[in-house]
Structure formats: C-alpha cells, structure tokens
C-alpha cells in the first residue's frame, strides 16, 4: 500500500493519474479547477481533496504535474498548502517539466519538514501516458527514487535515474529543446522545398529514409501538419517554457549555445503569436505565414480548395 495523491489533472496529468486510480495507491486527487477533479472522480473512482493540504495528509507520495516549477512552489504555503498536510517521511514526486533551480529551492523547503523530493518529468506525450508507456527522467537520491518507483511504474515504461536533484528537469528541458529545434528546422526546410517545387509529402518520405529524420518528420509532420489536423495535446506555451529552461541551463553552465538561445527566442515569438492554448506543432503555422506557403498534403489542399 502506497497512499498517493495526484495534483494537476491537465492534458497529461489526467491519463497519468488514471493508472493510479482503483489500485494499491488509494488515490486522492486535487485540481485547481474543481470541476475537472470532480469529473475525474466520477469517471475513475478516486477521492476528491478540497485543498493541496488535504491531498497531502496521510499520503506517502504526492505527485504534482503542473505547467511550471513556480506553480508547484505556489502550492506549498498557507493553511491549505502542501506543507500543512505533509507528514515527515513523505515524498513529493514532481512530474512537472520544471526547472532545476526552483526545484532545489522547493526541496530545501520540504527538507525542513522531513519531506523528500524527486523530480520526475515525463516524455512520450498524451498517447504515451494513456498507454502507460512514458519515459520518466528522475533527479534525486536513489533511495527516494526506489521508494516512489511503484508509482512511476504505473504510468512509465522506462524509469531513468538521471542524476542528483534537478537532473531530471535538466534532461527533459534539453530533450524538448531538440524537439522544438527539429519542428522549426523541418518547417523552414519544407517551406523552402515547397516553394522550389518539391511536395512536402515527397520530401518527408525521402528525409524519413535518410539521415535528417527525427520524431518531428517521422510523426508530427505526417500526422498533424500534412493533414492539417493540429490536435491540441501539448501547448506551445509549455514548449516555449522548456526551451527557455534549456537555454538558461546552458548559459548557467557557461556553454556557448547560440543555437539553443536562438531556438528559445523563436519559440518565445511563436508563443506570443499563437497564444496560450495553441498546440506546439502549430508553430509550423508561424513559419508558413512568414514563408507564404502552406505545408499540407495534396489531398488535403485539393479537398480544402473544393469546399
Ligand atoms: P495543461 O495546461 O493541460 O494542464 C495544467 C494543469 O496544471 C491543470 O490541471 C491546471 O489546472 C494546473 N495548474 C496550472 N497552473 C496552476 C497553478 N498555478 N496552481 C495549481 N494548478 C495549476 O498542461 P499539461 O498537462 O499538458 O502539462 C503538465 C506538465 O507536463 C507541464 O510541465 C508540461 O510541460 C509537461 N508535459 C506535458 C506533455 C503533454 O503532452 N501535454 C508531455 C510531457 C510533459 P486547471 O485545470 O485549473 O487549469
């Protein structure tokens, strides 16, 4: 028995928490917008907490999955805050894609109350969360990680101990910076090819059988850009945040990083143009607008033209 709480029932938090409901975790959930937590409880049978403090009370593990580390820090204090509920010996398992510096601050605050901290951001997207097939990158003490491993294994297929506290966040940020870079670079390259008479689907077919391929060209462009579907699974605002963390990390480590800094700047601009709710792949629309070309498959373009 590992009594567990889950805070943050967003796009990825919800399918992650689902794997903890109804099992040995005696799950209790809290969400800022209560209606979302009520819907989760009605569908999956967990208990509903009215505050972070109530969620943390009597729990061995408290999972957070919020947009930023600052959001996690904002839940610590006050009569309804996590620290008012945590028992000594509990662990805060932070699955937010957060930043190492704020996490070190959070961990120090928790340590004053005998509470442990493991950063454990995830990769694999909403579909990976639904299939309990996430990769989890952990930072912290090995003993602490072992204690929360059953929770991680409920939604993760590959659990990696990346290093000391904050190492999980750092690794996740760099991974996502590469994702951002691949999306933007592929959009620019395909736009140039389209304007030179090479169809995007043909270009992707060749790239994906060659050395330029990446997740963006193999999956995101064929499934979301060429089709014009652009499903909303991971907000551009969140990827902007991740690239910013990676760029800051490189600067703090005194690594010359013009490409990371430029990628961060591009995504800041895209986020500003697209707003808070757009999906990350919609950044391609920004490149399309600048280039004056649309990267849809011939079928989608002609269907759109016919309507
Ligand atoms: P969403 O924006 O879909 O959901 C965010 C969740 O956090 C909601 O439950 C929201 O509550 C809650 N929240 C936001 N701000 C606060 C706050 N200040 N205090 C308390 N709760 C708050 O985000 P995702 O679920 O997509 O992402 C969560 C984390 O996981 C992010 O760090 C993201 O980078 C990472 N991630 C996301 C992936 C994805 O595919 N979506 C993939 C891998 C990592 P409310 O309902 O009230 O808005």
pLDDT in tens, 236-253: 999 999 999 999 999 999
Task: Kindly state whether residues 159 and 42 are assigned to the same domain.
Answer: yes
If you average pLDDT over every residue of the chain, what do you get? 96
Give the domain-ending residue among 137, 163, 189.
Answer: 163
Domain hosting residue 96, numbered range: 4-163
Task: Kindly state whether residues 113 and 224 are assigned to the same domain.
Answer: no
56-103 confidence digits (pLDDT tens): 999 999 999 999 999 999 999 999 999 999 999 999 999 999 999 999
Atom of ligand 1 nearest to the CA of 242: 34
Give the domain-ending residue among 108, 129, 163.
Answer: 163
Contact 69, 60 (CB under 8 A): no
| CATH code at position 10 | 3.40.50.720
Q: What is the pLDDT of residue 306?
A: 40
Taking residues 263-268, report their average pLDDT.
Answer: 98
Query: Ligand 1, atom 8: nearest CA belongs to which residue?
Result: 10
Q: Give the total number of structural domains in the chain.
A: 2
Task: Kindly state whether residues 126 and 244 are assigned to the same domain.
Answer: no
280-300 confidence digits (pLDDT tens): 999 999 999 999 999 999 877
| CATH code at position 265 | 1.10.1040.10
Task: Kindly state whether residues 99 and 248 are assigned to the same domain.
Answer: no
DSSP-assigned letters across all residues of 44-66: H--EE-SSHHHHHTT-SEEEE--
Give the domain-ending residue among 148, 163, 178.
Answer: 163
Q: Is residue 66 lining ligand 1, measured as CB closer than 6 Å?
A: yes
Residue 132 has pLDDT above 50, yes or no: yes
Task: Kindly state whether residues 152 and 176 are assigned to the same domain.
Answer: no
Cβ-count burial 182-201 (b if 16+ within 10 Å, e if not): bbbbbbebbbebbeeeebbb
Task: Kindly state whether residues 300 and 216 are assigned to the same domain.
Answer: yes
DSSP-assigned letters across all residues of 108-141: HHHHTTT-EEEE--EESHHHHHHTT-EEEEEES-
Distance from C-alpha of 17 to C-alpha of 25, rounded to nearest angstrom: 10
Task: Kindly state whether residues 100 and 40 are assigned to the same domain.
Answer: yes
Phi, psi of 168 (to 5 degrees): -65, -45
Query: Ligand 1, atom 26: nearest CA belongs to which residue?
Result: 11
Q: What is the pLDDT of residue 307?
A: 38
Atom of ligand 1 nearest to the CA of 71: 18
Task: Kindly state whether residues 116 and 188 are assigned to the same domain.
Answer: no
End-to-end CA distance of the chain: 57
Catalytic, 241? Answer no
181-204 confidence digits (pLDDT tens): 999 999 999 999 999 999 999 999
Q: Is residue 134 lining ligand 1, measured as CB closer than 6 Å?
A: no
Q: Is residue 14 lining ligand 1, measured as CB closer than 6 Å?
A: no
Phi, psi of 159 (to 5 degrees): -105, 120
Atom of ligand 1 nearest to the CA of 134: 43
Strands 122-123 and 116-119: unpaired
Cβ-count burial 218-243 (b if 16+ within 10 Å, e if not): eebbbebbbeeebeeebbbbbbbbbb
Task: Kindly state whether residues 212 and 107 are assigned to the same domain.
Answer: no
pLDDT tier for residue 304 given thresholds of 50, 70 and 90: very low
Distance from C-alpha of 7 to C-alpha of 17, rounded to nearest angstrom: 9
Q: Is residue 155 lining ligand 1, measured as CB closer than 6 Å?
A: no
Task: Kindly state whether residues 81 and 64 are assigned to the same domain.
Answer: yes
């Amino acid at each position: 028995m590992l009594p567990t709480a889950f805070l943050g029932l967003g796009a990825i938090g919800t399918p992650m928490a689902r794997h903890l409901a109804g099992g040995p975790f005696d799950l209790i959930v809290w969400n800022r917008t209560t209606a979302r937590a009520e819907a989760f409880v009605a569908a999956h049978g967990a208990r509903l907490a009215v505050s972070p403090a109530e969620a943390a009370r009597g729990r061995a593990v408290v999972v957070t999955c919020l947009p930023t580390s600052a959001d996690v820090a904002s839940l610590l204090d006050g009569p309804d805050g996590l620290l008012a509920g945590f028992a000594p010996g509990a662990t805060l398992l932070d699955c937010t894609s957060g930043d190492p510096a704020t996490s070190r601050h959070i961990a120090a605050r928790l340590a004053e109350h005998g509470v442990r901290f493991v950063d454990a951001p995830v990769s694999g997207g909403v579909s990976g969360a639904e299939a309990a097939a996430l990769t989890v990158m952990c930072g912290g003490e090995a003993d602490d990680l072992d204690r929360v491993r059953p929770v991680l294994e409920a939604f993760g297929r590959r659990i990696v101990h990346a290093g000391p506290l904050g190492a999980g966040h750092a690794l996740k940020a760099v991974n996502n910076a590469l994702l951002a870079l691949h999306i933007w670079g592929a959009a620019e390259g395909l736009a140039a090819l389209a304007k030179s008479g090479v169809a995007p689907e043909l270009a992707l077919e060749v790239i994906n059988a060659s050395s330029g391929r990446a997740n963006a060209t193999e999956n995101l462009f064929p499934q979301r850009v060429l089709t014009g579907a652009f499903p909303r699974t991971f907000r551009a605002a969140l990827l902007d945040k991740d690239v910013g963390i990676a760029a800051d990390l490189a600067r703090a480590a005194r690594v010359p990083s013009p490409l990371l800094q430029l990628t961060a700047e591009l995504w800041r601009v895209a986020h500003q143009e697209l707003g808070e709710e757009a999906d990350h792949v919609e950044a391609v629309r920004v490149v399309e607008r600048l280039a004056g070309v649309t990267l849809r498959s011939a079928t989608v373009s002609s269907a759109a033209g016919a309507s």
